[in-house]
Protein backbone atom coordinates (compact mmCIF):
# COMPACT_ATOMS: atom_id res chain seq x y z
CA UNK A 1 0.00 0.00 0.00
CA UNK A 2 1.15 3.54 -0.66
CA UNK A 3 2.72 5.56 2.14
CA UNK A 4 0.10 7.43 4.15
CA UNK A 5 0.37 10.09 6.86
CA UNK A 6 -2.35 11.63 9.00
CA UNK A 7 -1.88 13.39 12.34
CA UNK A 8 -2.03 10.09 14.22
CA UNK A 9 -1.83 7.25 11.65
CA UNK A 10 0.97 6.24 9.31
CA UNK A 11 1.35 3.49 6.73
CA UNK A 12 4.92 2.85 5.66
CA UNK A 13 6.73 -0.28 4.41
CA UNK A 14 3.37 -2.10 4.48
CA UNK A 15 3.07 -1.60 8.24
CA UNK A 16 0.59 0.42 10.30
CA UNK A 17 1.85 2.89 12.92
CA UNK A 18 -0.18 4.85 15.43
CA UNK A 19 0.76 7.94 17.45
CA UNK A 20 0.39 6.88 21.09
CA UNK A 21 -2.41 9.14 22.39
CA UNK A 22 -1.84 7.97 25.96
CA UNK A 23 1.69 9.39 25.99
CA UNK A 24 0.81 12.74 24.39
CA UNK A 25 1.58 15.57 24.76
CA UNK A 26 4.73 14.88 26.76
CA UNK A 27 5.98 12.13 24.43
CA UNK A 28 5.41 11.58 20.72
CA UNK A 29 5.83 7.84 20.30
CA UNK A 30 4.86 6.03 17.10
CA UNK A 31 3.85 2.43 17.88
CA UNK A 32 3.61 -0.54 15.54
CA UNK A 33 -0.01 -1.63 15.04
CA UNK A 34 0.54 -4.16 12.27
CA UNK A 35 -1.17 -7.17 13.83
CA UNK A 36 -4.76 -7.66 15.01
CA UNK A 37 -3.54 -8.29 18.58
CA UNK A 38 -1.44 -5.10 18.58
CA UNK A 39 -4.18 -2.87 17.18
CA UNK A 40 -6.89 -4.29 19.46
CA UNK A 41 -4.62 -3.73 22.44
CA UNK A 42 -3.96 -0.10 21.31
CA UNK A 43 -7.70 0.47 20.85
CA UNK A 44 -8.52 -0.99 24.30
CA UNK A 45 -5.88 1.22 25.91
CA UNK A 46 -7.04 4.31 23.91
CA UNK A 47 -3.59 4.68 22.41
CA UNK A 48 -5.60 4.98 19.22
CA UNK A 49 -9.00 6.55 19.87
CA UNK A 50 -11.77 8.80 18.58
CA UNK A 51 -14.73 7.36 16.68
CA UNK A 52 -13.56 8.01 13.09
CA UNK A 53 -9.93 7.08 13.76
CA UNK A 54 -10.77 3.69 15.28
CA UNK A 55 -12.67 2.73 12.12
CA UNK A 56 -9.92 3.96 9.82
CA UNK A 57 -7.13 2.20 11.72
CA UNK A 58 -9.01 -1.12 11.63
CA UNK A 59 -9.72 -0.74 7.89
CA UNK A 60 -6.11 0.09 7.06
CA UNK A 61 -4.85 -2.85 9.09
CA UNK A 62 -7.19 -5.24 7.31
CA UNK A 63 -5.97 -4.00 3.92
CA UNK A 64 -2.33 -4.37 4.99
CA UNK A 65 -2.89 -7.90 6.30
CA UNK A 66 -4.39 -8.81 2.92
CA UNK A 67 -1.43 -7.29 1.07
CA UNK A 68 0.91 -9.21 3.36
CA UNK A 69 -0.73 -12.48 2.30
CA UNK A 70 -3.29 -13.35 5.01
CA UNK A 71 -5.84 -15.72 3.43
CA UNK A 72 -9.49 -14.75 3.05
CA UNK A 73 -10.86 -16.91 5.89
CA UNK A 74 -8.36 -15.40 8.34
CA UNK A 75 -9.14 -11.89 7.07
CA UNK A 76 -12.80 -12.58 7.83
CA UNK A 77 -11.88 -13.62 11.37
CA UNK A 78 -9.64 -10.57 11.76
CA UNK A 79 -12.49 -8.31 10.63
CA UNK A 80 -14.83 -9.73 13.27
CA UNK A 81 -12.23 -9.38 16.05
CA UNK A 82 -11.54 -5.75 15.05
CA UNK A 83 -15.26 -5.02 14.84
CA UNK A 84 -15.66 -6.00 18.51
CA UNK A 85 -12.69 -3.96 19.75
CA UNK A 86 -14.86 -1.10 21.12
CA UNK A 87 -18.65 -1.29 21.24
CA UNK A 88 -19.98 2.29 21.25
CA UNK A 89 -18.50 4.19 18.29
CA UNK A 90 -20.43 2.95 15.25
CA UNK A 91 -17.87 4.31 12.77
CA UNK A 92 -15.87 1.12 13.41
CA UNK A 93 -18.78 -1.09 12.38
CA UNK A 94 -19.79 1.17 9.47
CA UNK A 95 -16.24 1.24 8.06
CA UNK A 96 -15.80 -2.50 8.49
CA UNK A 97 -19.13 -3.17 6.76
CA UNK A 98 -17.63 -1.49 3.70
CA UNK A 99 -14.42 -3.49 4.07
CA UNK A 100 -16.53 -6.67 4.26
CA UNK A 101 -18.02 -5.86 0.85
CA UNK A 102 -14.51 -5.42 -0.56
CA UNK A 103 -13.47 -8.76 0.96
CA UNK A 104 -16.26 -10.47 -0.98
CA UNK A 105 -14.73 -9.42 -4.31
CA UNK A 106 -12.58 -11.80 -6.34
CA UNK A 107 -9.63 -9.42 -6.34
CA UNK A 108 -10.07 -8.72 -2.63
CA UNK A 109 -6.46 -7.63 -1.94
CA UNK A 110 -6.69 -4.65 -4.30
CA UNK A 111 -10.31 -4.03 -3.33
CA UNK A 112 -9.50 -3.86 0.42
CA UNK A 113 -6.56 -1.54 -0.16
CA UNK A 114 -8.59 0.78 -2.40
CA UNK A 115 -11.50 0.84 0.05
CA UNK A 116 -9.34 1.59 3.10
CA UNK A 117 -7.61 4.47 1.30
CA UNK A 118 -10.98 5.73 0.08
CA UNK A 119 -12.29 5.72 3.67
CA UNK A 120 -9.31 7.81 4.78
CA UNK A 121 -9.73 10.33 1.93
CA UNK A 122 -13.47 10.49 2.52
CA UNK A 123 -12.97 11.16 6.22
CA UNK A 124 -10.74 14.14 5.41
CA UNK A 125 -13.41 15.53 3.09
CA UNK A 126 -16.19 14.87 5.63
CA UNK A 127 -14.26 16.84 8.26
CA UNK A 128 -13.90 19.79 5.87
CA UNK A 129 -17.60 19.77 5.07
CA UNK A 130 -18.54 19.62 8.77
CA UNK A 131 -16.21 22.54 9.47
CA UNK A 132 -17.82 24.60 6.67
CA UNK A 133 -21.37 23.87 7.81
CA UNK A 134 -20.60 24.34 11.50
CA UNK A 135 -18.59 27.55 11.23
CA UNK A 136 -21.69 29.31 9.89
CA UNK A 137 -23.33 28.61 13.26
CA UNK A 138 -20.53 30.28 15.25
CA UNK A 139 -21.30 33.87 16.20
CA UNK A 140 -18.50 36.49 16.16
CA UNK A 141 -16.71 36.82 19.51
CA UNK A 142 -17.69 33.31 20.63
CA UNK A 143 -16.35 31.69 23.76
CA UNK A 144 -16.85 27.98 23.10
CA UNK A 145 -16.73 25.09 25.56
CA UNK A 146 -15.72 21.67 24.21
CA UNK A 147 -15.39 18.20 25.71
CA UNK A 148 -13.07 15.25 25.07
CA UNK A 149 -10.98 15.41 21.87
CA UNK A 150 -12.44 15.74 18.39
CA UNK A 151 -9.55 17.06 16.31
CA UNK A 152 -6.94 15.79 13.87
CA UNK A 153 -5.86 13.21 16.43
CA UNK A 154 -9.30 11.58 16.37
CA UNK A 155 -9.89 11.71 12.58
CA UNK A 156 -7.92 11.66 9.33
CA UNK A 157 -8.68 15.34 8.73
CA UNK A 158 -9.20 18.56 10.68
CA UNK A 159 -11.60 16.92 13.12
CA UNK A 160 -15.28 17.37 13.87
CA UNK A 161 -16.11 19.84 16.69
CA UNK A 162 -12.48 21.04 16.73
CA UNK A 163 -12.58 21.35 12.92
CA UNK A 164 -15.56 23.70 13.28
CA UNK A 165 -13.83 25.69 16.00
CA UNK A 166 -10.58 25.94 14.00
CA UNK A 167 -12.30 27.22 10.87
CA UNK A 168 -14.44 29.67 12.84
CA UNK A 169 -11.24 30.87 14.53
CA UNK A 170 -9.60 31.43 11.12
CA UNK A 171 -12.69 33.46 10.22
CA UNK A 172 -12.04 35.63 13.28
CA UNK A 173 -15.13 34.49 15.19
CA UNK A 174 -13.66 32.57 18.15
CA UNK A 175 -12.41 34.57 21.12
CA UNK A 176 -11.51 31.61 23.33
CA UNK A 177 -12.08 27.89 23.82
CA UNK A 178 -12.80 26.43 27.24
CA UNK A 179 -11.45 22.87 27.41
CA UNK A 180 -13.13 20.37 29.73
CA UNK A 181 -10.33 18.14 31.02
CA UNK A 182 -12.59 15.06 30.47
CA UNK A 183 -12.09 12.66 33.36
CA UNK A 184 -11.25 9.87 33.69
CA UNK A 185 -8.81 9.62 30.77
CA UNK A 186 -8.18 13.35 30.31
CA UNK A 187 -8.54 13.58 26.54
CA UNK A 188 -9.36 17.28 26.96
CA UNK A 189 -6.54 18.11 29.35
CA UNK A 190 -3.93 16.13 27.46
CA UNK A 191 -4.99 16.19 23.80
CA UNK A 192 -7.41 19.06 23.12
CA UNK A 193 -5.41 21.62 25.12
CA UNK A 194 -2.32 20.57 23.15
CA UNK A 195 -4.02 20.49 19.73
CA UNK A 196 -5.66 23.90 20.17
CA UNK A 197 -2.36 25.42 21.29
CA UNK A 198 -0.61 23.90 18.24
CA UNK A 199 -3.33 25.52 16.09
CA UNK A 200 -2.73 28.89 17.81
CA UNK A 201 -6.26 29.00 19.26
CA UNK A 202 -6.52 30.64 22.71
CA UNK A 203 -7.71 28.01 25.18
CA UNK A 204 -8.20 27.58 28.91
CA UNK A 205 -8.47 24.30 30.73
CA UNK A 206 -11.10 23.53 33.38
CA UNK A 207 -11.95 20.46 35.44
CA UNK A 208 -15.29 19.00 34.29
CA UNK A 209 -16.89 20.02 37.60
CA UNK A 210 -16.18 23.71 36.89
CA UNK A 211 -18.36 23.94 33.78
CA UNK A 212 -21.58 24.80 35.67
CA UNK A 213 -20.04 27.71 37.58
CA UNK A 214 -18.33 28.98 34.43
CA UNK A 215 -21.55 28.92 32.42
CA UNK A 216 -23.50 30.55 35.29
CA UNK A 217 -20.98 33.42 35.14
CA UNK A 218 -21.88 33.88 31.44
CA UNK A 219 -18.40 32.93 30.24
CA UNK A 220 -19.60 30.43 27.61
CA UNK A 221 -21.59 31.31 24.46
CA UNK A 222 -21.95 27.82 22.97
CA UNK A 223 -20.98 24.19 23.55
CA UNK A 224 -19.61 22.04 20.70
CA UNK A 225 -18.96 18.30 21.02
CA UNK A 226 -18.43 15.26 18.79
CA UNK A 227 -20.31 11.96 18.76
CA UNK A 228 -19.67 8.23 18.87
CA UNK A 229 -23.12 7.18 17.68
CA UNK A 230 -26.26 9.04 16.63
CA UNK A 231 -29.47 7.01 16.98
CA UNK A 232 -32.49 7.23 14.67
CA UNK A 233 -34.33 9.58 17.04
CA UNK A 234 -31.31 11.92 17.27
CA UNK A 235 -30.06 10.79 20.70
CA UNK A 236 -26.26 11.00 20.82
CA UNK A 237 -23.70 8.84 22.61
CA UNK A 238 -20.47 10.73 23.32
CA UNK A 239 -17.75 10.84 25.96
CA UNK A 240 -19.00 10.60 29.54
CA UNK A 241 -19.75 14.13 30.76
CA UNK A 242 -21.37 15.28 27.52
CA UNK A 243 -24.92 14.84 28.85
CA UNK A 244 -24.32 17.07 31.87
CA UNK A 245 -23.06 19.81 29.53
CA UNK A 246 -26.24 19.52 27.45
CA UNK A 247 -28.39 19.87 30.58
CA UNK A 248 -26.36 22.94 31.60
CA UNK A 249 -26.74 24.44 28.14
CA UNK A 250 -30.52 24.09 28.23
CA UNK A 251 -30.81 25.54 31.75
CA UNK A 252 -28.63 28.52 30.82
CA UNK A 253 -30.12 29.04 27.33
CA UNK A 254 -26.93 28.54 25.31
CA UNK A 255 -26.73 26.42 22.14
CA UNK A 256 -25.43 22.85 22.30
CA UNK A 257 -24.15 21.48 18.96
CA UNK A 258 -23.04 17.98 17.98
CA UNK A 259 -20.62 17.70 15.04
CA UNK A 260 -20.12 14.32 13.33
CA UNK A 261 -19.70 12.68 9.92
CA UNK A 262 -22.44 10.47 8.46
CA UNK A 263 -20.28 7.45 9.42
CA UNK A 264 -21.43 8.13 13.02
CA UNK A 265 -25.12 7.66 12.16
CA UNK A 266 -26.86 4.45 13.15
CA UNK A 267 -30.37 4.55 11.65
CA UNK A 268 -31.01 0.98 12.85
CA UNK A 269 -30.54 1.98 16.47
CA UNK A 270 -33.95 3.38 17.49
CA UNK A 271 -32.84 5.55 20.41
CA UNK A 272 -30.09 6.20 22.93
CA UNK A 273 -31.11 3.43 25.30
CA UNK A 274 -30.26 0.88 22.57
CA UNK A 275 -26.68 2.18 22.20
CA UNK A 276 -24.18 -0.19 23.86
CA UNK A 277 -22.15 1.75 26.41
CA UNK A 278 -18.63 0.51 27.10
CA UNK A 279 -17.80 -0.07 30.77
CA UNK A 280 -14.12 0.38 31.55
CA UNK A 281 -11.62 -0.63 34.22
CA UNK A 282 -11.94 0.63 37.79
CA UNK A 283 -8.28 1.70 37.75
CA UNK A 284 -9.16 4.63 35.44
CA UNK A 285 -11.27 6.11 38.26
CA UNK A 286 -9.31 5.02 41.31
CA UNK A 287 -6.22 6.77 39.93
CA UNK A 288 -4.59 7.86 36.72
CA UNK A 289 -1.85 6.66 34.38
CA UNK A 290 0.07 8.14 31.47
CA UNK A 291 3.54 9.14 30.34
CA UNK A 292 4.07 10.32 33.95
CA UNK A 293 3.51 6.82 35.36
CA UNK A 294 0.67 5.33 37.38
CA UNK A 295 -0.96 6.67 40.55
CA UNK A 296 -3.76 5.41 42.76
CA UNK A 297 -5.49 7.63 45.32
CA UNK A 298 -8.68 5.66 46.07
CA UNK A 299 -8.71 2.95 48.73
CA UNK A 300 -7.63 -0.53 47.65
CA UNK A 301 -10.61 -2.39 46.09
CA UNK A 302 -12.81 0.75 45.95
CA UNK A 303 -16.08 0.01 44.10
CA UNK A 304 -16.33 1.96 40.85
CA UNK A 305 -18.84 2.78 38.06
CA UNK A 306 -16.97 3.73 34.90
CA UNK A 307 -19.04 4.08 31.72
CA UNK A 308 -16.92 5.50 28.88
CA UNK A 309 -19.87 7.32 27.27
CA UNK A 310 -23.25 8.80 28.10
CA UNK A 311 -26.33 9.53 26.03
CA UNK A 312 -27.62 13.04 25.39
CA UNK A 313 -31.32 13.04 24.51
CA UNK A 314 -32.20 14.64 21.18
CA UNK A 315 -34.43 17.22 22.89
CA UNK A 316 -31.33 18.93 24.39
CA UNK A 317 -29.49 19.31 21.07
CA UNK A 318 -29.65 22.59 19.10
CA UNK A 319 -28.27 21.10 15.86
CA UNK A 320 -26.57 18.00 14.45
CA UNK A 321 -23.78 19.34 12.26
CA UNK A 322 -23.04 16.69 9.62
CA UNK A 323 -21.00 16.72 6.42
CA UNK A 324 -24.28 17.25 4.56
CA UNK A 325 -25.13 20.36 6.59
CA UNK A 326 -26.91 21.26 9.81
CA UNK A 327 -29.85 19.06 10.74
CA UNK A 328 -32.40 20.93 12.88
CA UNK A 329 -34.44 19.60 15.84
CA UNK A 330 -37.57 19.94 13.67
CA UNK A 331 -36.02 17.76 10.94
CA UNK A 332 -34.93 15.15 13.51
CA UNK A 333 -38.43 15.11 15.03
CA UNK A 334 -39.81 14.57 11.51
CA UNK A 335 -37.66 11.43 11.12
CA UNK A 336 -34.51 12.74 9.37
CA UNK A 337 -32.28 10.01 10.90
CA UNK A 338 -34.80 7.17 10.51
CA UNK A 339 -33.87 4.33 8.11
CA UNK A 340 -34.75 5.22 4.49
Q: Which residues bind ligand MRU (CB under 6 A)?
A: 46, 49-52, 89, 148, 150, 154-155, 159-160, 187, 226-228, 238-239, 308
| Of 20, 123, 208, 228, catalytic | 228
Cite the annotated binding site for substrate by residue number: 49-51, 86, 187, 238-239
- Residue 228 annotated among the catalytic residues of the structure: yes
Q: Which is nearer to ligand MRU, 226 or 255 (by Cβ)?
A: 226
Q: Provide, rounded to whole angstroms, the least separation between the CB of residue 146 and ligand MRU.
A: 9
Nearer of residues 110 and 278 to ligand MRU, judged by Cβ: 278
The least CB distance from residue 228 to ligand MRU, in Å, is 5
Which of 325, 320, 318 is CA-nearest to residue 255? 318
> Alpha-carbon distance 219 to 48, whole Å?
33
CA 270 to chain centre: 21
Instruction: Check if the beta carbon of residue 155 is closer than 8 Å to that of residue 127.
Output: yes
Query: Nearest to ligand MRU by Cβ — which residue?
Result: 226
Nearer to ligand MRU among residue 114 and residue 285 (C-beta): 285
Q: Between 154 and 179, whose beta carbon lies closer to ligand MRU? A: 154
Of the candidates 72, 27, 51, the one whose C-alpha atom is nearest the C-alpha of residue 230 is 51
Least Å from the CB of residue 88 to ligand MRU: 8
Distance in Å, CB of 114 to ligand MRU, minimum: 24
Rounded CA gap, 112 and 11, in Å?
15
**Rounded to an integer, what distance in angstroms lies between the CA atom of residue 135 and that of residue 245?**
20
> Which ranges of 225-334 would DSSP assign to H, the alpha helix?
242-251, 283-286, 329-333
Residue 4 in contact with residue 10, Cβ under 8 Å?
yes
Give the annotated binding-site residues: 49-51, 86, 187, 238-239
Active site residues: 228
Amino acid sequence: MQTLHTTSLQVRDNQLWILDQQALPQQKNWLDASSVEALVSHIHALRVRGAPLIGLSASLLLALLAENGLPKNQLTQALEILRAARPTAVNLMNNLDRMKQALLQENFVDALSAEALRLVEEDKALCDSIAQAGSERVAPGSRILTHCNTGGLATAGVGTAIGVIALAFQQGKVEQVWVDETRPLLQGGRLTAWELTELGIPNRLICDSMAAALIAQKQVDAIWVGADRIAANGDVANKIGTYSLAVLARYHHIPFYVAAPHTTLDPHCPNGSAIPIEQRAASEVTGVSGSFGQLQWAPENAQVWNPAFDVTPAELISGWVLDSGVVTPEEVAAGYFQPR
